[in-house]
Amino acid sequence: MLATGHDPEQASEYFRGHEDEIKIAAINSSGSVTLFREVDAIVKLSAVLSANGVFNRLLKTGGTAYHSHHMIPLGSDYSKMLAGGLERVMELGLSDERQRYPRISWASSVTPDKGQSDLTVTASYLRVSLESPGRFSKAVLNLVSSESHPIDVLVKIGPHGALKSPLDQIFKSLGKSIPSASSLRRKEDGRISLLHLAGTLFGLNAEIELAYTNAVDEPRGTGLNLVHGCTAIDLPPYQYTYGPIPFSLLLHICLAIVAASEAYYWFPEPLRITGYSLRNVAIKTALKIPEDDYGVDIILSMELVDTATAKLPTWSSFSVSSVVRDSNEWTEHCAGFVKVKPPSPKK
């Protein structure tokens, strides 16, 4: 299989007349598709693309062309094994509806034209996924374009974050900036990858149970016991100068919070604000206030990064800048993101 830096129409130009031999296995974004063909032929196609200055990368799939008709001979056995596994899960009581999280809408890469739905994953659905081209781009577009379910961050549950570039291309085409993270990283211990993911989500203000995240599993009887660390009290002395929080930082944060509040109350039927979240706040230049009668002009710029409503507010980017008297030169002092928190919906 071969990942290429083309849209579907551009990619098809390279195998025109050979449509029976080369097919599209996945549409990842408007500028990224995955092709499949016999191994020797796909290597030759890679050389042609490289000679034409087109980005391409051979995928390490062990010579297996997933999401293609090459999987059809395996489809029947694959479906039977999945069905048997699902039946076994039911027998063990592991599929009890009362133990599941609330069902949410999802965007399928198999049937993306249906938009978001409550589709149930069955053995037949997974077989179709194995044998059909993956329409990742359309599924992500459906997901992040939803007004009823705004997206704060995307997490890829899979082998590695290979689709990060296509995700960035999709976000850029929509004029959005959405952080993404992967549960696993190539050539890295899976436990470390998951800890990185937990840290990333915590940094994005997601609700992460750090007590569980930082614990170690220890077998006890037929189950597992969580073992936590203890405070180290015998570390060697070290020098560190603790300084006060700069007043200008507090000023910038207060400006951002007040502006976010004012913007939120412009929504129809705004709710009571219960708190605020800040992320990626960067202090770039110290704010110097001249000792004269004129002072300094400060301007705060703020912009929503996504569609928002009173019930579902989203992040706003902000920037604090100043200009001194008799000068047209602006200096940016602080930038980051802020979001108001309305009351949590009643369950």
The proportion of the chain whose per-residue pLDDT surpasses 70, expressed as a percent, equals 86
Whether 80 and 191 map to the same domain: the answer is yes
Burial of 270 (0-12, 13-18, 19+ CB in 10 A): middle
pLDDT of residue 222: 73
The answer on 285 and 187 residing in a single domain is: no
Q: Which domain holds residue 322?
A: 247-341
Q: Is the same domain home to 213 and 271? A: no
Q: Would you state the pLDDT for residue 275? A: 92
Mean pLDDT score of the chain, rounded to an integer?
81
One domain, residues 294 and 194:
no
Structure tokens at 306: 């996504």
Co-location of 175 and 117 in the same domain: yes
pLDDT of 242-290, one tens digit each? 666 667 788 899 999 999 999 999 988 889 999 999 999 998 888 887 7
Winning range, highest mean pLDDT, from 139-143, 188-192, 218-222, 337-341: 337-341
Residues 263, 192 share a domain: no
pLDDT reported for residue 159? 63
Express each pLDDT in 78-95 by its tens digit: 999 999 998 888 888 777
- 85 occurs within a structural domain: yes
What is the rounded radius of gyration, in angstroms, for the C-alpha atoms of the chain? 26
Residue 103: pLDDT over 90:
no
124 and 257 housed in the same domain: no
Same domain, 84 and 173: yes
Number of domains, the chain: 2
Q: Is this model's pTM higher than 0.75 or not?
A: no
